[in-house]
Amino acid sequence: MIIVQKLKERYPVNGSFYVTPSSSIANNIKTQRNNKIVEGKGVYIFTAKQNNQEKTMYIGKAGTIKTSGEWAVQNLFGRISNKNYQPVYKEFGLKKSVNRQKFFDKVFELEKADAIGVYWFVSWDANKFKELPGLAEALALQSYFDMYGRLPEWNNKF
């Protein structure tokens, strides 16, 4: 996972966990609450793991800066655990608005994934790091595009 390694080098405050068919994203996120994921703003990646092979499926950002310089509400914790509005849901026969756990359950069922990896990286911390999440996301997507000539499967546009 070259992109994950590059992001770890660039953003030293990071973490990861796996959601399996027998676990829930909610329980995994609760264990991350002691870490910077709660208030952090940055970039995150979802991967699908099958037969010890891991594939990047989505690259997203958490944190939007307003014209005033204030942050919109959502942080890494919120983005990783919230509802999703991606057209890819249509392929899975789901409604447009569905929580991540339901989506992940469909991924396990239809894609036969063994686990879904969740990697997160803090790019903005008022004290240490001051790289806007939009830039962090763009750099990660550019790196993916340079390697594969396309966006990850769950990213429908950029």
**For the segment 102-130, what is each residue's pLDDT rounded down to a tens digit?**
788 888 888 889 999 999 999 998 777 88
| Predicted structure pTM score | 0.87
Mean pLDDT of all residues in the chain?
Answer: 84
Is 156 contained in some domain? no
Is 37 contained in some domain? yes
| pLDDT range class, residue 34, cuts 50, 70, 90 | low
More confident residue, 98 or 46: 46
What domain count does the chain have?
Answer: 1
pLDDT given at position 4 = 93
Is 92 contained in some domain? no
Is 155 contained in some domain? no
Q: 125 lies in which domain range?
A: 2-81+115-148
Burial class (CB in 10 A: 0-12, 13-18, 19+), 63: buried
Show the DSSP H helices in 48-97 as ranges: 76-81, 88-91
More confident residue, 86 or 144: 144
Q: Which residues pair with 50 in a beta bridge?
A: 53
Is 93 contained in some domain? no
Is 100 contained in some domain? no
Is 59 contained in some domain? yes
Is 106 contained in some domain? no
